[in-house]
């Protein structure tokens, strides 16, 4: 079933992606340099350069280049001292890599509901979580889609309860809050250079810190935890998590273009906002007074009254088209039919089968019973809406094609197709 517009439009000849790598030429120069000087290893000039570029950009003392953002988060969880059975408060509406490293260490993620102002961890629900789980001493908070969360409020709650913060800035490199870059607010911080991020190495990530001791530990653990001895000597478990000097060459070539990518992403966001402004929808929100997002992904959310019926199971989805109304599924289908890529909002962790036994805290308190009732088809809120914020945004929201190589003309066509879904 397609919106009226989509039926009459010739699909784009080459696909418009959600967010794909954008290379500029310098990447190849640094990769070739690694090849020609034979530093085809996890040691070399590119690694040293990207570490200093990242530390300088975000404004921290040390950056340790790793194989992935997930590896950086794992190292952060180790540094925070998570032991089997320890509960950890986590962002709920995020990518699974934010929380899986807790599970690697035997920790138990407890999910904290989302707020509507920035689509990130709700500090009110976080305070509630400490009432229910007073022993927790660690929080993992992500900045979804490049939009900084309510950092001051989250930090105030953390300080009050003596908890440390792991900041997952994987999606938000270059975004700032009250003039400071994300990736500097946590006790332990991670960024990512995965292929779809604002700048990329094709893969890669970094651990960021002001602590020399922590940086040294991550350097050691990520290179198999070798002791200072003439032979391979080990006192601790190690990991093969260091960044390759080839990958670092790509990241090095990308860094000078971070601001350009952000400007392009911002223009995309603003063009959508303008083009959709008289529809019953809004864009993913941010706190304009205190933060500057990197606009990594443009998203939209449909007003409750303008939603046609949409039901999602664990693997499949159904919707009933209706005049003047639409839903994420209808819009994503229409966008796909013209050869462009959108995506549902990241499905909240508390709704994921793998974490269905884990705690989940909303402003009202324990949200777990309601979630399970909803998932089994029993409970919905007023006018058929889901019962918690994360579920609601997942139900009504979607990620729009946000590739920085998309032309204004292509974006106008996408906007027309979205408009057609509401006819």
Ligand X SMILES: *Cc1c(COP(=O)(O)O)cnc(C)c1O
**Catalytic residue ranges:** 197
Q: Please, what is the minimum distance in Å from the beta carbon of residue 23 to ligand X? A: 18
Measured CA to CA in angstroms, residue 334 lies from 157, 344, 410 at distances of 43, 13, 14
Binding footprint of ligand X, residue count (CB under 6 A): 14
> Which of 62, 95, 185, 360: binder of ligand X (CB under 6 A)?
95
Structure tokens at 6: 């989509």
Query: Quick one: which segment of 12-20, 68-76, 235-243, 349-357 binds ligand X (CB under 6 A)?
Result: 68-76
Q: Tell me the residue ranges of DSSP E strands in 254-407.
A: 281-283, 291-292, 299-302, 309-312, 317-320, 343-344, 360-362, 365-366, 397-399
Applying CB under 6 A, the span of 36-44, 166-174, 214-222, 325-333 interacting with ligand X comes to: 166-174
By beta-carbon proximity to ligand X, the closer residue of 69 and 397 is 69
Which residue matches tokens 């280049």? 65
Which of 50, 97, 340, 418 touches ligand X (CB under 6 A)? 97
Which region among 9-17, 66-74, 239-247, 402-410 touches ligand X (by CB under 6 A)?
Answer: 66-74
Decide: is 19 part of the binding site for ligand X (CB under 6 A).
Answer: no
Q: How far is the CB of 127 from ligand X (least distance, A)?
A: 23
Rounded Cα distance, 335 and 356, in Å:
32
Q: Which stretch binds ligand X (CB under 6 A): 95-103, 113-121, 243-251, 317-325?
A: 95-103
**69 vs 401, beta carbon nearer ligand X:** 69
* Interface residue with ligand X, options 3, 21, 44, 69 (CB under 6 A): 69
Is there a contact between 134 and 373 (Cβ–Cβ < 8 Å)?
Answer: no
Q: Does 362 bind ligand X (CB under 6 A)?
A: no
Least distance CB 416 / ligand X (angstroms): 30
Binding status of residue 68 toward ligand X by CB under 6 A? yes
Q: What does the alpha-carbon distance between residue 187 and residue 183 come to, in Å, rounded to a whole number?
A: 10
Asked whether position 101 contacts ligand X by CB under 6 A, the answer is: no
Cα(382)–Cα(95) distance, rounded to whole angstroms?
28
Tokens of 258: 């971070």
Q: x/- contact string, 171-200, with ligand X (CB under 6 A)?
A: x--------------------x-x------
Site for ligand X in 299-328 (CB under 6 A): none
- Among residue numbers 140 through 159, which ones bind ligand X (CB under 6 A)? 142
Q: Which is nearer to ligand X, 95 or 422 (CB)?
A: 95
Closest to ligand X by CB, 130 vs 241, is 241
Q: Which two tokens stand for residue 403?
A: 């590739």
Residues 6+ apart with CB under 8 A from 228: none
Residue with smaller CB distance to ligand X, 195 or 324: 195
The two structure tokens encoding residue 232 = 């391979």
Rounded CA gap, 11 and 340, in Å? 8
Give the range of 168-176, 309-317, 321-329, 399-407 binding ligand X by CB under 6 A: 168-176
Inter-residue long-range contacts of 78-83, CB under 8 Å, 24+ positions, other chains counted = 78/105, 78/221, 79/188, 79/214, 79/217, 79/218, 80/138, 80/164, 80/166, 80/187, 80/188, 82/106, 82/107, 82/138, 83/107
Q: Which residues bind ligand X (CB under 6 A)?
A: 68-70, 94-95, 97-98, 142, 168, 170-171, 192, 194, 205
């Amino acid at each position: 079933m397609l919106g009226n517009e989509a039926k009459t439009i010739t699909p784009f000849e080459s696909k418009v992606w959600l967010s794909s790598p954008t290379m500029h030429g310098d990447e190849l120069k640094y990769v070739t340099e690694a090849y020609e000087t034979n530093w085809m290893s996890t040691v070399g000039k590119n690694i040293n350069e990207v570490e200093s570029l990242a530390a300088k950009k975000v404004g921290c003392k040390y950056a340790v280049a790793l194989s992935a953002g997930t590896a950086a988060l794992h190292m952060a969880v180790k540094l925070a001292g998570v032991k089997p059975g320890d509960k950890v408060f986590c962002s709920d509406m995020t990518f699974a890599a934010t929380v899986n490293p807790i599970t690697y260490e035997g920790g138990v993620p407890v999910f904290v509901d989302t707020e509507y102002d920035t689509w990130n961890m709700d500090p009110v629900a976080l305070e509630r979580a400490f009432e229910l789980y007073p022993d927790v001493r660690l929080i993992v908070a992500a900045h979804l889609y490049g939009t900084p969360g309510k950092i001051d409020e989250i930090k105030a709650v953390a300080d009050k309860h003596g908890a440390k913060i792991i900041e997952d800035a994987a999606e938000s490199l270059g975004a700032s809050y009250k003039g400071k870059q994300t990736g500097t607010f946590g006790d332990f911080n991670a960024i990512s250079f995965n292929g779809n991020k604002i700048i990329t190495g094709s893969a890669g990530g970094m651990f960021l810190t002001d602590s020399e001791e922590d940086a040294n530990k991550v350097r050691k653990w990520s290179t198999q935890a070798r002791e200072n001895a003439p032979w391979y000597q080990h006192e601790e478990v190690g990991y093969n998590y260091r960044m390759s000097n080839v990958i670092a060459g790509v990241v090095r070539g990308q860094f000078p273009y971070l601001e350009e990518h952000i400007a392009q992403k911002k223009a995309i966001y603003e063009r959508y906002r303008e083009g959709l402004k008289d529809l019953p929808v809004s864009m993913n929100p941010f706190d304009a007074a205190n933060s500057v997002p990197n606009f990594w992904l443009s998203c939209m959310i449909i007003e409750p009254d303008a939603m046609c019926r949409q039901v999602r199971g664990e693997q499949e989805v159904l919707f009933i088209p209706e005049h003047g109304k639409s839903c994420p599924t209808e819009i994503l289908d229409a966008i796909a039919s013209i050869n462009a890529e959108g995506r549902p909002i990241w499905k909240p962790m508390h709704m994921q089968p793998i974490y269905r036994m884990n705690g989940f805290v909303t402003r009202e308190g324990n949200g777990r019973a309601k979630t399970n009732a909803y998932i089994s088809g029993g409970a919905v809120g007023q006018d058929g809406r889901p019962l918690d914020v994360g579920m609601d945004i997942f139900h009504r929201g979607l990620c729009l094609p946000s590739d920085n190589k998309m032309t204004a003309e292509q974006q106008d066509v996408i906007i027309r197709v979205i408009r057609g879904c509401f006819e």
